[in-house]
Every structure is written in C-alpha cells, then in structure tokens.
Amino acid sequence: MLYRKEREDLCKVVKLMFDRFETNAAGGNVSVRMNEEHIIMTPTLMSQQKFCDLKPFEILVVDMNEQKVEGEGNITREINMHMACYKSRPDIGCVLHSHPRESLVFATVGMDLPNLTEATQKLGHIPTLPFAPATSRELADIVRDYLSTLAHRPVPFAMLLNKHGILVLDKTLHKAYDMLERIEYNSYVASKALVFEALNIKKMKKEAYNYNLEE
C-alpha cells in the first residue's frame, strides 16, 4: 500500500473531526500533498455513508491530473477546489474542508469571521467568500482568485465558504487540524461576544496587541 502511515493518520484525523462536530454528515473532505506527483484524499461520501470512520485502504491516492492511483472508493467532486489550492501555492501541504458547527453560523449568514482569540491571530482576516454552488468550477475559481491576493503571505490560510463550510490550508495535516480547532473556539467566542455587544453588555474594542504568534 502506498503511503500507509500517512493514510492511517488521515483516518484518525477525519474521525476526530466528525466526533468533535468539526464536520457533519453533509460532507467535508481532506487531502494531503505527498510529493509533486501524488496527494492522498478522503473519498466521496466519507461523512454521509461512513460517518468519517475510514480504513486506510479507503483513503485515495490521486495524481495531479485528478486520476485515482490507489484506494477503494470514488474521488469527490470537490477535488477541483483542492487542486486549485495545490496548484496555486507550493507551500500548501494540506487542504482541509469541513462543515464545522460554530464556524458554519458565520458562513451561512455570509459574514466574515471576527478574529478575536490570540490563538487565531496568525490567520489575519478570515473572510466569507462569495457564494458558488458546492463542487462547482465556479467555487474552485473563487478560492483560486482569493489565494492570488495572498501571494505576499505564508500559510496558514482560512476562509469560510458561503452557505457551505470552511477551508483551512496549511503545511501539514496536523497543522491544518490544529488551526481548525482554534478557529472553532474563536467562532464560539465570537458568537458570544456579538451577543454581548447586541445586548449592550460589553462592546468589542478594536485594539492593537502584541500577540504571541509563535507555534
């Protein structure tokens, strides 16, 4: 089996995502760049049919022409979005797309995510991108166009997909998952802070702080 260890690792991470409400039965998909020739990627319907409880042989090995090399299952139609990321930036080593419970509130209403916690400051602005249907070429192009505006910045990046979910891009699978966790906690905090502000309990202040951005 090609990339056995990495495929086993990906199985563990996507199951953790599902168990922690960081994706839902409506979907999500994760891929990891192995080298210049291959990525490994979760199969289509990993959430709906498998509840993210995958076996290593169900993790697909896919080439850069979007052709399956190895693995049981079919390639998700959202591979176009993954490839748009990999082909735009050589420093992207993982594309993590999910439907997380807290962040999806902001994505669904089409609102940029307030970046409030110290743990998420390295992401900078977290936008909600313009709407395009899931799996469409239009959505992949919107993601590619947004990445082109970030040419001056290194990864990680995060963006909400309008009415859909989140996209987290980082160097490795574990870094991307770590960032997803941080964003979800930030989303919970942001939701509460906005309620406090609306009730005139406490206004959010835009202040500059000397944040610790180290790993």
pTM of the entire structure?
0.95
Q: What are the tens digits of pLDDT across the range 22-73?
A: 999 999 999 999 999 999 999 999 998 999 999 999 999 999 999 999 999 9
Residue 209 lies in a domain: no
Domain span at residue 109 reads: 4-198
Residue 85 lies in a domain: yes
- 3-state SS class at 56: helix
Residue 215 lies in a domain: no
Mean pLDDT calculated for residue range 111-140: 97
Residue 17 lies in a domain: yes
The number of CA neighbours under 13 Å toward the Cβ of 197 is: 10
Say how far apart CA 158 and CA 97 lie, in whole Å: 10
**Structural domain count, the chain:** 1
Neighbours of 211 (CB within 10 A): 12
Residue 187 lies in a domain: yes
- Take residue 60 and report the two structure tokens written for it: 């697909």
CATH (domain of 55): 3.40.225.10
